[in-house]
Amino acid sequence: MTTAKLNTLHLHLVDSQAFPLVLPSAPRLATGAYSREERYTLADLAGLQRFAAARGIRLVAEIDTPGHGAAWCTGMPEVCPSARCKQPLDVSSNATFEAIEAVLRDLFTVLPDAFVHLGGDEVSTDCWSSTARVAGWLDERGLTADEAYGYFVSRTTAIAKALGKQAIVWDEVFNHFGMALDREQVVVNTRFNAAQAPARPPCVANASAHGYRVVRSQNKHWYLDQTLGKDWRAQYEFELCAGLPDESCRFIIGGAASQWGETADTSDLMQTIWPRAGAVGEKLWSPRSVNDTVAALPRYVAFRCYLNRRGFVAAPALNGRARSAPPGPGSCYAQ
């Protein structure tokens, strides 16, 4: 990452499939890990924090809520709507928000960054509406399920703020709530031209025009797992501020090369990320006028060979499918 001038590591720490964090304030949650061996502790995160800080890299944790929360139910079933309908996390229970606060408090003892990512994406509220206890809570308060989603986001944001952190959310949260969203929140945009509604402008244009800070990780270009059938130009050709006026562009505060776990594990992780994330790094640190892939190609090839010389498993630069093997023997500069 330091070689590519990427200075922030976004840690998507938990998801629907597993809760691998061992936390002193909520130890039961770790029973939602894949196995006892596939867990990590605060000591592990503290070690990673020290390693990263020595290399100029920030660690920003994400605890995705209220969706992507099914793994919480294994150890703490009281935070889920029911045993048969596990997510989103139970909006009607104080136990849910107490657990979230406990998780964040523990994390912040070892991860000092000013930001925390609270997720907010891919929330289907069907479990709330179909679970009698939660539906009754909604009725008592005169809330629709969608309004309860907004309540959940507001309450978790308030928890983060009370703990001294600024919240980051996925663009779906802004798509839902627009300017009702706390103006201090940072929006991570992933969807190409995702509109808030048919009659409203795309999320990035709308959010930045209203002063919300935006980090871009556009899925058709900078999601490394979704561009496996494309070569490095898919990363290099994306322009952060394309179509935005300069006044809005100043609210685009960064970008991210995103790699999710669906398409990679330890057998191919490094060569799936590298050298393509280096193309993202050059774009983020270059003037907007630097966009010529022909001129960039020799730099990109040299970057891959440099990574290999340093012992990093970076895939061949000249292939049409991200992590493909080279066609035959030859120089690193011709692969």
Cite the active site residues: 122
Question: Could you count the other beta carbons within 10 Å of the beta carbon of residue 211?
Answer: 12
Which phi and psi (to 5°) does residue 262 adopt?
A: -65, -30
Q: In degrees to the nearest 10, what's the CA dihedral of 120, 122, 123, 124?
A: 180
Written as six digits, the tokens of 113 are: 């960054």
Cα–Cα distance, 22 to 141 (Å, whole number) = 35
* Cβ(290)–Cβ(246) below 8 Å: no
* Cβ(228)–Cβ(189) below 8 Å: no
Cα distances (angstroms) measured from residue 170 to each of 70, 176, 216, 306: 19, 11, 10, 34
> Which secondary-structure segment (H or E) carries 10?
strand 8-12
- Radius of gyration, CA atoms only, the chain: 21
Write down the residue that tokens 């539906």 correspond to: 135
Question: Could you count the other beta carbons within 10 Å of the beta carbon of residue 324?
Answer: 14
Q: SS3 for 313?
A: coil
* Cβ(19)–Cβ(71) below 8 Å: yes
Cα distances (angstroms) measured from residue 332 to each of 128, 284, 298, 325: 55, 26, 12, 12
> Which secondary-structure segment (H or E) carries 285?
none
